[in-house]
Structure 1
């Protein structure tokens, strides 16, 4: 009798533990993102882009989403280490880390269902017992004859982390940093970002509003870092070891002259500041003057002389 009741007791204990976990976790938002999608864009862009599927589009979407996303931060860091100003890679790494932590925090406190959930379950309520889904990446597993993305997404610890999109944030951040170092290649980096955004919607992993929020998060973080901490790129330098000095922050905040190193102290005992100046003394181009216009030092130094001269001026 006791043995027969043991499985049932264990089953109830498991259900109670799952319910206890769900009690402290926030509710999963299923309707918010589809509603925002319709309000902002008038349609579900993800469903429109994923309506027509074929092998060529699957591979084109898989390259940025399933491959480039994971290797791009390392490639970007290596390229900027060689061709960027000294110190730019640590700034990129910190910015990348901060936006990742902020995005995951938002995903944990504001869990939202991705497009693949709507395709499978409609707008039915979701719970944390549900497994992740590879969506369009399942076709890549089938094409390659592997079980990589299917098993990987089923074991994902954050199933409802659609908002904001880290795929959009990371690609946008990489494009902004690379555009700073290589401004002439900016169209190429913008194309890569748009390619990533399209892939996330084609594979039914993100709504357009997820991408906009992720891109905005990366943009704000980039310009904050650029204004305060970013080493300035010197366009006449190709490699990092060509830099003789490094300036930090946005150059638009300073003056037109090189006052970055000025600390407000003036050394009156040194005349080094006159070297190379264009003053009339250093250039030997003093204006000719007559003795008639020279003032006696005594007249300037003695108050009594001023009073005396005033008497002569006003005496009859």
Structure 2
């Protein structure tokens, strides 16, 4: 009994200075070896940062934020320190298309054209406007290229193909779907076809951009704008080098040779103007810059590209996207504007561009992230070691070339560390410290 009492008394004795060690001033200090900045300033930081760079991760302090500066000098400094790559050739191409389109427009008006070009150049150099007008530059180039193509001299244009598309339609499908769908019309069907063809085609790109800007990963909208613009430029170029007559020409003129200078036709959209008593499409389609641009169908290409991006951001909406694509494809044939082979060509172009952009430049969606501002980091493309910069801020984050490792790597690794800790259930760094300490004791 005496021995037991002695043992108890020995265990309850506390070492000298225990009050000082348990004081709040001592407890609130984390030992140096567990200090997070020191942990990530060592080799662990360098290794983790290297892994995130190889996986395509980009810190989002400068990606999710929007520029508010009007200083042109910021852009000049950014261009001076920028590491140029082969992908920057796209800007040379855009400049070439823009200059060509301005050059062929009649009347010449050199002063007005020069002022317009300088005005857009100013928008590209101010950071607050660059973040919008640089990614959307391909779209503005497409619009200028499309409307100025009417001024291309007829004598240098290729011959208009009248029999190619009907022949391909018979070879591929054995029947002309456009003639089948447009053989029976009704005012209800006219309105049903008018919604996607006459309204959705013009307004949906802006709506999709606004939705993806809020709910998609930072950098998704610039990639959508570039894809949309370059796809449209490619489509118009094919229409100019491979001009083909649409179904309404076959219905009005048969297989007679077509000539440049002939007027276009609103086809089934004329019934919409008659139904509402407003000239919305008759004049615009009659005087269209490219009346013989049936192949490829940009109506189908635009809808398919929008559906691919929306279904990428919102996988649960794939069914709705597929319905819209089928809806507008039917409308193009019902309104007698496109053959089925035109839709196939537009779909191939849209999917090819989306596949390339998704592999190399499109930011990945992260589970559990609903808004763009919730992203702690962004993984770009499906391949590793991708050096493409997000274009939403213009040419890239200001000072990116001079950013030190303490500013970029540490914040990137620290954000990802805290994100992984919160998702794994640890509510504070203390729990991870305890587990690390217990593991060391077991070792």
Aligned to 1:127: 259
Query: What TM-score do you get using the length of structure 2 for normalisation?
Result: 0.54
Structure 1 residue 22: Cα displacement = 3.1
Provide the C-alpha distance between the structure 2 equivalents of 1:56 and 1:199, rounded to a whole number of angstroms.
Answer: 12
Q: Which has the larger radius of gyration?
A: 1
Structure 1 residue 282: Cα displacement = 5.3
Answer yes or no: is 1:240 the counterpart of 2:372. yes
Structure 1 residue 129: Cα displacement = 1.7
Deviations 1:134-186 (A, max 9, x none): 00000000000011211111111101000000000000000000001110111
Q: Counterparts in 2 of 1:2-13, with a 5 A limit?
A: none
Provide the C-alpha distance between the structure 2 equivalents of 1:108 and 1:46, rounded to a whole number of angstroms.
Answer: 23
Answer yes or no: is 1:85 the counterpart of 2:217. yes
Query: What TM-score do you get using the length of structure 1 for normalisation?
Result: 0.75
Q: Count matched residues.
A: 249
Aligned to 1:197: 329
Provide the C-alpha distance between the structure 2 equivalents of 1:156 and 1:143, rounded to a whole number of angstroms.
Answer: 22
In structure 2, which of residues 346, 361, 379 is the aligned counterpart of residue 229 of structure 1? 361
Deviations 1:89-109 (A, max 9, x none): 000000000000000000000
Aligned to 2:91: none
Q: Per chain length, whose mean CA-contact separation is higher, i.e. which structure has more relative contact order (CA < 8 Å, sep 6+)?
A: 2
Aligned to 1:16: none
Deviations 1:18-77 (A, max 9, x none): xx9432110000000000000000000000011110001000000000001000110000
Provide the C-alpha distance between the structure 2 equivalents of 1:60 and 1:230, rounded to a whole number of angstroms.
Answer: 34
Structure 1 residue 195: Cα displacement = 0.4
Aligned to 1:46: 178
Aligned to 1:141: 273
Q: Counterparts in 2 of 1:41-120, with a 5 A limit?
A: 41-120=173-252
Provide the C-alpha distance between the structure 2 equivalents of 1:184 and 1:124, rounded to a whole number of angstroms.
Answer: 48
What is the aligned-residue RMSD (CA, Å)? 2.5
SS of 1:246's partner is: strand
Answer yes or no: is 1:183 the counterpart of 2:321. no
Q: Which runs of 5+ in 2 are unaligned?
A: 1-151, 386-413, 418-428
Provide the C-alpha distance between the structure 2 equivalents of 1:206 and 1:192, rounded to a whole number of angstroms.
Answer: 17
Aligned to 1:219: 351
Deviation beyond 3 Å, 4+ runs, structure 1 = 275-279, 281-286
